A and B are shown apart, each in its own frame.
Chain A
Amino acid sequence: MIMKKRFIVYTLATTLGAVGAISSCTNLDEEVYSEVLASSFKPTEKDIPAIIAPVYASFRGLMMGWQGYFDLQEESADAIATPARPNGWYDGGTYLRMHTHTWTPLQWQPQNTWLSAFRSITTANRVLAQIEDGVIAMESGQEALVAELRATRAFAYYLLLDNHGNVPIVTNFKDTQLPEQKTRQEVYDFVVKELLEVVDLLSDDPQATYGQLNKWGVKALLAKIYLNAGVYTGTPQWEKCIQQCDEIINSQKYTLDPNYSDVFTYTNQNSKEIIFAIPYDQIYGTGNIVHMKTLDPASRFVYKMQAGPWGGNAAVPQFIDTYDAQDGRLKDTWIMGPQKNASTGEVVIDYVKLLPSMAATESNEGYRIGKYKIKEGATGALDNDFPMLRYADVLMMKAESLLRLGRADEAAVLVTQVRQRAFRDTNPAKATVTGDDLKKGSSYNYGLQDENGNVQAGPGSGGADIQFGRMLDELGWEFAAEAHRRQDLIRFGVFSTKAWFNHSPSSPNKALFPIPAEEINKNPKLAQNPGY
């Protein structure tokens, strides 16, 4: 009996021992095929474009992507709205809340901007840390690369400064502590300091750096931040804005494109006007879906599209009413009237100006965004690059600063310069504005609109009382559908005080979006912005 047991034990032990002895029997190392293991990849200088690409890549999804920065800036303002359509677009009231400023910390659009901006910031921090550690071997050009990464990071912080204000500042990738919240003033100081420190280390060649932040892009960004410094910090910086604009103007690196539409067309990478673009491509850099969101499905036949658009947002009729009928920018910005099938000539849809209400519109109601010219055979992703900063913007920033410093006539010269191409083919005389014109109020007929398109008197109605309202109108006409409008309305004191379409005056607190609820949950060091 004992003998037998012993044998069993021996046999068992031998079997298991044999198994144990063959090391492959316990080897659990992963064989990785379709990923690149960090341990086996040694990046060289030729990999640097690929390594820094993700810093820029998240801007693409953000700017013209689904419920991105474009929607955040436009749907909360007075030029574009996304009303419910027969085929949908109620979407749990999300567009209605954007329009009526009733968003909460759960609203996705502001969170989307937050997440995308921080994704760029984190990626920049990671690459900076890898350069610092020598993981990325570089012979030369390290200084310029570091400067560009810091500039791009500062650009992402600018988006946060403008939209969320009080955000954490993280510059050290290796610090895994939950970051501390900073005040809007601190964020402003940080962004300005970073940009000033790197600006002269950057390339000054516009062609070689298209789509990247170069010296002029940083200067234009600084001008933009100084322009809004009063909103950000309570202390305006008009002179500093003018100084940055002058440096760009004097460099003669950029000029106004001959035609307004050249700036936005599907070949706008050739523009001489764009200073900082977010490049898109229907194959290599997808994400520009502005046409998908605005066009009615029937419009696909007009452009022989390879995708069916969804039919959502449209121009607020009151904004359209501000245009001079001879302003070429009206037809260059909006798709209006009958649309014809490219093959048969048959009218497929007739876009009319009226939008009855946010709650109910017909599919052909409202003018559509046509600024980003749609290529024949377009897919769901446009080729058109998004002009984040352009030369006309520099001229107008300088003009506004001059105007606010009491130099209205100097401002008028610049505004006239911008207007000239808009009236060149219709009525060149109309291009000229005077300093006194710019001191007038706005021609925007603010007030709630009823279902027949009539504007009601009431709280927040009328535009004549807006200081430098004409300048605001000029910005509206030049930069409509370029994600400028929210910032401009805030600077001109209109954002929360006026009524338009179905929007009633809201609270001054709405000029900052809430810190997303999810972010507060993840990081208890974050406090909510006032009023939420």
Chain B
Amino acid sequence: MKWKFTNRVLALSGTVVLYTILPCFHQGDAYAGVLGHREVTRQDRPVSGIVTSAEDGAPLIGVSVSVKGGTAGVMTDAEGKYQISVSNNAVLVFSYIGYTPQEVLVTNQSQLNIRLKSDRQVLDEVVVIGYGTQKKGDVTSAVAGVDREDFVQGAVRDAAQLVQGKVAGLRVTTPSGDPTATTQINLRGISSIQGSSNPLVIIDGVPGNLNTVAPEDIESVDVLKDGSAAAIYGTRATGGVILITTRKNQTDRSTVEYNAYTSVQTIARRPELLTGDDYRRLIRDEGIDYDDYGGNTDWLDEIMQTPVSHNHNLTFFGGNSATNFTGSLNYRNWEGIMKRTGQERFVARADINHAMFDEKLKANIQLINTVASSVQGGGDGYAYRQAIIRNPTDRVRTETGEWQERGGYFYLNPVARIEEFNREYTTRELRMSGSLDYSPIKDLHFKMLGSHIQWSSLYGYASTFNHSDTWLDNRNSNAGRSTGASRSNLLELTSNYAKTIGAHSFSVLGGYSWQDETNEGFNADNWNFPTDAYGWNNLGVGQAVQSGLASMDSYKDNWKLIGFFGRVTYDWNNKYLFMASVRREGSSKFGVNSKWGTFPAVSVGWRISQEGFMKTLGFVSDLKVRAGYGVTGTIANAPYISQISYNFGQTEGAFIGGRWVRGFSPVRNFNPDLRWERKGEYNVGLDFGFLKNRISGSLDFFRRDIDDLLYNFEVPSPPYLYEWITINAGTLRSQGFEALVNFVPVESKNFTWNSNLTYSTNRTELVSLANDQFETTVEYFDAGYTGEPIQDFTHRVAVGEPIGRFYVWKTVGVDANGGWLVESRTGEAIPINDATQEDRQYYGNAIPKHVLGWNNSARYKNFDLTVNIRGAFGHDILNFQRMFYENPKNPAYNMLKTAYDPVYGKRLNNDLVYVSHYIEKGDYVKIDNVTFGYTLPKDLIKVVRNARVFVSGLNLITITGYKGLDPEGVSYSGFAPGNDERDKYPTTRTFTAGLNVSF
């Protein structure tokens, strides 16, 4: 049945449609002729000319002129002139940074003058949108894209860091210096309570994550910011969508590129702690009850190293217009700033395209294989804490070479922790995807995309006999192993038809998507080993399993997601633009009563600059207003939360009938009505370009209302089984403004300077926690935790309040005994010991009011320089470092030098408490990424087509009044943002030197 249709359509395309696409074929024939012919005849002759800029007619210097498919190439001189020898019917390629490359067929001319167009012709740029692409000029929703040449350079961790500060409203930070950590990313604020606020990441059409491909392998990163753009992805899209396009062979020339860099790191900022000499001075002068062991050890130095990392990337491009190949090998070996930390990663990617049947059928196969492995010691946040609190007069080892340990509460030698603990974590991912694109007639495409992803992890850990697990906890080495695996499948069928008839252009997209994922895992641990030589490799030997103390666990779950979607676009005369889409999507994770949801979107645009009355305003190159509304959803994190199910468990067990039995109890309060979180988002935007797009950009205003939030709602028990039930309750509202301005301050023969500014502000508020099942509720929930010994929550999220507020006793002074005075609910100053929970108040907000990015790239002759500056303003940070270590009360632990400084004129003598004194302004400006590069002259080395060396610095300079380590090294996600935790992996400053060569 289907085959018949295909045949008929094929036949049709051969007759009816031939006429319309004839010019295309003609061109194709011509090229084919060139390629075929060149093999036979080689009658080289000189061709010369001048290359000028299409904008102002100025000659362009250093333009690369080469024969397509060959190796020969020259550059234009100071007057824009070139001369090159070519055979007849060769194709010359003119390429130049910042300009659109141009290919010209040489027939019998000897003089070829070329006018290169600046690629700031942004309106013709193509941006990637869901299930397709669109010309930037036609876009009616809030999307942003960053291409390869504008990426952040240097030792970049993942895809998000490539675009850090470059997409307005997309906040990317690196809260940890751990080389195995990922970036933290957020688009337009918090959008879910229990689900994820993270954007959906799609790599070449297949869901993945920011680490799926190496940064070097990425061609562009596009971000669907608003609901009207993202709604085609339905339930996964509330946090926005990031579309990553990998590098593809753009020409039919064979190329090899090699990129490498080496980097070293230093701690971004060191805490200033009391030294051994400070201890002795305080004992002598003030009689402080410190133990003096006589030494002077810098414990931070003892746990840290100067990490040297390197990174190599080899990319091959080959093939022709019918069959081509892109392959890349990426090897990364990153060391961490803490001793015995780091990660080694290998990513191989192969991408094969083949076009057949007169290019009616295009096939693509892509394989990505990633192996990441971390062989590490016990360096973690807890070791960092131990280095901070350890007595600086103490020593690392005793005279006999043993670790110097002391008694004490949570007080361990940090170097021993690092050295006497071993762990290895390996993940492997194999992604296989293939697509067929069948175009029976021009403008009509049927596409099938399938993928299968296998991921697995293997973890092992073991402590030696010299670790506190043994000498303190009597465990005689402690070891464990765990493994996890997931398999996911995706099948997507789409059909797309696009057509222009006179002034009317329209396109129709329809599709089906099926996704299935299975996760499973197993873990076991054991201790009481006869030797520590086995590590985790002979777990059964330990005796904790016989004595019933060891644990073992396994799990498996599965979810499915099925969607039908469609989209239409229409524009009239490039003036009036319209787009509408809808996705009907169902998830197995939801209750039987509401498996399916519908996610519509509509957006419109008006290109004012195309109107006749605008033609007089010559300085306006482009002006477009657009508005959109779209609905997206958020899925619950865990499957099965609507199920009526039971579990056997030891914690619910009891001693019944003379023996211990496991308890059989319901897993949760049942809710068969569980459904999507639903986000409706309005976005109004303006795109502009002035002075031939020398200044261009966009402004976007948005408001998103997220209803039916999945929330663990507090219910009375009885009548309910448990005190909370997962239901759809409450509303979050975010609103904000984003601006992007690109401008070119200087553009001349030898010197160009491109600059762009991004700005965003947003505010998320909890509008309600109400729902249709319960009349009343607690109008707030608490979030964040200080950790012991303070043991308190830090934030309160309340109806009518923005997200990010601290909830704390506000300090107003210190009494004669050094105890905190706090403000009571009636406004009086009371001792903290008399304060109750009712005296706490909302204080500050951890979400920045303003986030700025300023990115510059400049080129002078062969030198290039990029400088990226970022900043965030109008927010507060809870400085745990000061809360725990700027208090002289407990001399058993080391503290900051500032601990003895007077507070409100007096020295503090109060237990550690969570009070507003430790909440600081978090404003900062970072000169983050500075890269200086030099491109070697073209003809320096014959086989080398292009070579560039560069040096780069990341997180170079931070200008801030914040007293902690790094105002950006803080979590901004979730409901307890701005907690600058005590146990951390400090953020780093990275210096990189690298090389890019292509052959």
Contacts and interface: CB of A to CB of B under 8 A. Distances in A.
B712 interface: no
A12 B408 CA distance: 73
Contacts of B789: 87-91
* Residue in B441, B833, B838 whose Cβ sees the most chain A Cβ within 10 Å: B833
Given A11-B9, A90-B913, A106 B838 contact: yes
Contact of B647 (A35, A88, A118): A35
Contacts of A306: 473-475, 549
Contact of B792 (A3, A32, A92, A115): A92
A281 interface: yes
Interface stretch (A121-129, A324-332, A458-466, A487-495): A121-129
A90 B913 CA distance: 8
A11 B495 contact: yes
Interface string A196-233: 00000000000110111000000000000000000000
Interface string B379-419: 00000000000000000000000000001111000000000
B655 A283 contact: no
Interface in B78-126: none
Given A87-B789, A212-B656, A19 B646 contact: no
A11 B16 CA distance: 17
Contacts of B835: 93
Contacts of A431: none
Interface stretch (B227-235, B532-540, B714-722, B730-738): B714-722
Contacts of B587: 28
Nearest to B909: A360
A468 interface: no
B957 interface: no
Given A28-B587, A32-B640, A170 B718 contact: yes
Contacts of A405: none
A337 B719 CA distance: 51
A35 B649 CA distance: 11
Interface stretch (B199-207, B250-258, B334-342, B661-669): B661-669
B778 A57 contact: no
Contacts of B639: 30
A11 B661 CA distance: 61
Interface in A16-32: 16, 18-19, 25-32
Contact of A25 (B514, B657, B722, B775): B514
A39 interface: yes
A112 to B, nearest CB: 11
Nearest to A94: B791
Nearest to A61: B651
Given A84-B911, A304-B474, A49 B657 contact: yes
Contact of A57 (B408, B658, B663, B779): B663
Interface residues of B, number: 103
B211 interface: no
A176 B722 CA distance: 13
A50 B662 contact: yes
A116 B651 CA distance: 13
A519 B647 contact: no
Interface string B621-665: 000000000000000000110011111101111111110111111
Interface stretch (B62-70, B156-164, B553-561, B928-936): B553-561
Contacts of A97: 836
Contacts of B26: none
A526 to B, nearest CB: 9
Nearest to A348: B407
A179 interface: yes
B16 A4 contact: yes
B665 A33 contact: no
Contact of B723 (A96, A115, A211, A348): A115
B588 interface: yes
B653 A53 contact: yes
B308 interface: no
B863 interface: no
Contacts of A423: none
Nearest to A178: B716
B1 A57 contact: no
B714 A96 contact: no
Interface residues of A, number: 103
A51 B2 contact: no
A193 B719 CA distance: 22
B777 interface: yes
A359 B835 CA distance: 14
A300 interface: yes
A86 interface: yes
B790 to A, nearest CB: 7
A282 B660 CA distance: 12
A159 interface: no
B782 to A, nearest CB: 11
A305 interface: yes
B270 interface: no
A53 B587 CA distance: 35
Contacts of A366: none
A126 B646 CA distance: 13
22 contacts: A11-B440, A14-B1, A15-B512, A16-B512, A18-B2, A28-B562, A28-B588, A37-B644, A43-B664, A49-B657, A50-B663, A51-B664, A53-B663, A91-B790, A92-B791, A104-B837, A123-B721, A178-B716, A211-B655, A212-B656, A300-B472, A521-B776
Given A92-B914, A173-B718, A521-B777, 10 more contacts: A11-B9, A35-B667, A54-B663, A87-B890, A93-B832, A96-B833, A106-B836, A283-B549, A308-B472, A379-B549
Interface of B: 1-2, 5, 8-9, 12, 16-17, 407-410, 440-441, 444, 446, 472-475, 493, 495, 497, 510, 512, 514, 520, 547-549, 554-560, 562, 564, 586-589, 595, 639-640, 643-648, 650-658, 660-667, 714-723, 775-779, 788-792, 832-838, 889-890, 892, 911-914
Interface of A: 3-4, 7-8, 10-12, 14-16, 18-19, 25-39, 41, 43, 47, 49-57, 60, 84, 86-93, 96-97, 102, 104, 106, 115, 118-119, 121-123, 125-126, 168, 170, 173, 175-179, 207-208, 210-212, 279, 281-286, 297-298, 300, 304-308, 310-311, 348, 359, 363, 377, 379, 518-519, 521-524
